[in-house]
């Protein structure tokens, strides 16, 4: 076998390369993160009506993605905004709230 043939289709010549290739191209399953005491204290101050598609009042209702986001960034949010509720819904115009709920926006930057 020539070097060109081997480098052209390496997964067809080596079963171990095929296994590694399949493992690396597989989409991993979501893993949750454990609740910490510092986040638990801040979470109690949240509005209990928030959806599971964000950081909510109830840890069990949050998706693994939002659990990771909450644990990673809650200290900075508390330092910057004084709590996890960075925005008070009472002060947002109704049109902005509807747009945010519908997800019809794209962040620029």
| Domain locations along the chain | 1-30, 37-102
- Which helix (H) or strand (E) segment holds residue 11: the answer is helix 10-13
In this structure, what token pair is assigned to residue 12? Answer: 């067809």
Exposure letters 19-53 (e unless 16+ CB within 10 A, then b): eeeeeeeeeeeeeeeeeeeebeebbeebeeebeee
Q: What percent of the chain has pLDDT over 70?
A: 70
- Please, which pLDDT band fits residue 25 given cuts at 50, 70 and 90? very high
What value does the mean pLDDT take over residues 44-58?
71
Q: What is the pTM of this model?
A: 0.54
Give dist(CA 46, CA 83) in Å, integer.
8
Q: CA-to-CA distance for 96 and 65, rounded, in angstroms?
A: 24
* CA separation for the pair 36, 62 (Å, rounded): 14
Is the Cβ–Cβ distance between 70 and 55 less than 8 Å? yes
Q: Give the chain's mean pLDDT.
A: 78
pLDDT band at 23 (very low <50, low <70, confident <90, very high): very high
- Give the pLDDT score at 87: 67
């Amino acid at each position: 076998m020539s070097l060109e043939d081997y480098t052209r289709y390496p997964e067809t010549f080596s079963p171990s390369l095929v296994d590694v290739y399949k493992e690396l191209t597989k989409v991993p399953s979501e893993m949750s993160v454990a609740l910490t005491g510092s986040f638990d204290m801040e979470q109690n101050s949240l509005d209990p009506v928030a959806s599971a598609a964000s950081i909510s009042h109830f840890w069990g209702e949050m998706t693994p993605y939002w659990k990771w986001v909450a644990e990673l960034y809650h200290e900075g949010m508390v330092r910057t905004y004084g709590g996890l509720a960075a925005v008070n819904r009472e002060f947002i115009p109704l049109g902005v709230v509807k747009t945010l709920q519908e997800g019809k926006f794209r962040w620029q930057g």
